[in-house]
């Protein structure tokens, strides 16, 4: 397994990313072991589902989308797409590549097939631009759990959708409710909308994600664990813990390095994406929209930064903390029920990873 660190550059701004998909080697890649997340350059997927009616799809998109049946997830902006999933994803990748960096493309359907399960076409694209994201992170480091931007394309009941988390959702997640926070988020709002419109071919979303925002019962909180070690050491221990777990590391985003690439400063701040399709696929089958919140995310921050402290780039001489979205809150956000044992298993795994990485 290669873990070379690469710097993905564009004409606009670069994102420093470590990703399994970016390793340069002449050797044949190892076939994925069961549970390994496939980071795919394509957007292909299977066309059958095994779970709930909400996870069904057909082979061609509808040409007359309505808001009927569109999932109402707090903070999730949903566009109907005029294209099939592969074309929608290709258009999104091109738009992201022109404005920033595509960090990862994850084919949830392909990952499901790798463990003997099936999903209709469902693809997550992660990407962003340091010029847009860094000002938000300078206001609140915890926003690093939700940046870079994430987009989910999927087909359901003959219609293709493209969704992303709204700037208002990011504000709620990171407590960016003051004037400075709102100013920092405005470019995120504009960039997300532009990218979604370009990729989907539609200008008006079917839902703006405002329903449910502010509802305490569906608000996503974070779990955290403190470490006496600096960010780099804690990140190393997190990587080791993940490599010994059933999860596969998809990508590591160094937010502070991205800030430096545009002449800005942040305290050390690194986001890790890691997943296991055996654990995640049943949730995506139950409600496709949760594919935007999978794989799991872990943010390593200088001690206190995840709780709202501001600072420069001198945080490596103090302790650190790891933050992750509370998985049961994510399940509630997407209105998934009936998977209590699976939720508990994921939470136990999450707790064990945090404990191992910080002890």
309 or 45, which is more confident: 309
pLDDT at 117 over 80: yes
Q: What is the pLDDT of residue 25?
A: 28
For residue 208, is it within any domain? yes
Q: How far apart are CA 256 and CA 254, in angstroms?
A: 6
For residue 154, is it within any domain? yes
For residue 1, is it within any domain? no
pLDDT at 250 over 50: yes
pLDDT in tens, 306-325: 443 433 444 445 799 999 99
Q: Residue 44 carries which DSSP code?
A: -
pLDDT in tens, 252-300: 999 999 999 999 999 999 999 999 999 999 999 999 999 999 999 999 9
pLDDT in tens, 318-353: 799 999 999 999 999 999 999 999 999 999 999 999
Closest of 121, 71, 70, 132 to residue 96, by C-alpha: 132
pLDDT at 162 over 60: yes
Tokens matching residue 305: 């930064």
pLDDT in tens, 194-228: 999 999 999 999 999 998 898 887 899 999 999 99
- Phi, psi angle pair for 67, to nearest 5°: -80, -10
For residue 145, is it within any domain? yes
Q: How far apart are CA 159 and CA 162, in angstroms?
A: 10
Q: Which residue stretches of the chain are H helix?
A: 85-99, 108-114, 130-139, 167-174, 179-200, 231-243, 255-261, 277-286, 327-333, 340-358
Number of domains in the chain: 1
For residue 164, is it within any domain? yes
CA angle 125–129–135, rounded 5-degree value: 125
Q: How far is CA 329 from CA 70, 75, 302, in A?
A: 21, 13, 24
- pTM (predicted TM-score): 0.83
Give the number of other CB atoms < 10 A from CB of residue 26.
4
Q: What is the pLDDT of residue 249?
A: 97
For residue 125, is it within any domain? yes
Q: What is the pLDDT of residue 56?
A: 34
Bridge-based pairing of strands 222-227 and 122-128 is: unpaired
The per-residue pLDDT of the chain, averaged, comes to 83
Q: What is the pLDDT of residue 71?
A: 81
What is the domain-level CATH number for residue 246?
Answer: 3.30.310.70
pLDDT in tens, 76-92: 999 999 999 999 999 99
Give the number of other CB atoms < 10 A from CB of residue 325.
21
Q: What is the pLDDT of residue 31?
A: 37
For residue 85, is it within any domain? yes
Contact assessment for residue 125 and residue 81, using Cβ atoms and an 8 Å cutoff: no
Strand, coil or helix: 160:
strand
Sign of CA dihedral 350, 236, 299, 304: positive
- Helix 277-286 crosses helix 340-358 at what angle (to 10 degrees)? 140
Q: How far apart are CA 34 and CA 291, in angstroms?
A: 19
Contact assessment for residue 298 and residue 322, using Cβ atoms and an 8 Å cutoff: yes
Domain that holds residue 43: 6-23+32-358
Q: What is the pLDDT of residue 70?
A: 81
For residue 291, is it within any domain? yes
């Amino acid at each position: 397994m290669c873990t070379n660190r690469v710097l993905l550059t564009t004409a606009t701004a670069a994102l420093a990313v470590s990703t399994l998909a970016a390793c340069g080697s002449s050797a044949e890649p190892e076939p994925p072991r069961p549970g390994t997340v496939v980071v795919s350059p394509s957007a292909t997927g299977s066309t059958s589902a095994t779970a709930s009616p909400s996870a069904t799809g057909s082979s061609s998109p509808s040409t007359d989308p309505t808001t009927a049946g569109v999932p109402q997830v707090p903070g999730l902006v949903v566009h109907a797409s005029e294209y099939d999933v592969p074309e929608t994803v290709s258009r999104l990748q091109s738009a992201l590549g022109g404005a920033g960096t595509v960090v990862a493309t994850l084919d949830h359907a392909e990952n499901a097939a790798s463990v003997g399960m099936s999903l209709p076409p469902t693809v997550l694209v992660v990407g962003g631009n340091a010029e847009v994201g860094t000002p938000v992170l300078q206001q609140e480091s915890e926003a690093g759990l939700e940046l870079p931007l994430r987009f989910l394309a999927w087909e359901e009941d003959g219609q293709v959708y493209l969704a992303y988390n709204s700037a208002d959702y990011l504000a709620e997640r990171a407590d960016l409710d003051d004037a400075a926070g709102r100013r920092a988020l405005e470019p995120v709002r504009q960039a997300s909308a532009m990218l979604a419109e370009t990729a989907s071919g539609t200008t008006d979303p079917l839902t703006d994600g405002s329903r449910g925002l502010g509802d305490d019962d569906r608000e996503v909180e974070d779990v955290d664990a403190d470490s006496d070690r600096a960010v780099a050491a804690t990140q190393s221990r997190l990587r080791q813990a993940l490599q010994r777990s059933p999860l596969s590391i998809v990508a590591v985003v160094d937010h502070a390095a991205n800030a430096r690439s545009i002449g800005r400063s942040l305290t050390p701040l690194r986001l890790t994406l890691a997943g296991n399709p055996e654990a995640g696929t049943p949730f995506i089958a139950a409600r496709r929209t949760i594919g935007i919140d999978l794989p799991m995310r872990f943010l390593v921050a200088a001690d206190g930064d995840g709780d709202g402290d501001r600072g420069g780039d001198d945080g490596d001489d103090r302790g650190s903390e790891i933050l992750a979205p509370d998985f049961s809150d994510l399940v509630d956000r997407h209105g998934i029920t009936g998977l209590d044992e699976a939720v508990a298993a994921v939470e136990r795994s999450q707790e064990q990873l945090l404990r191992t990485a910080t002890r």
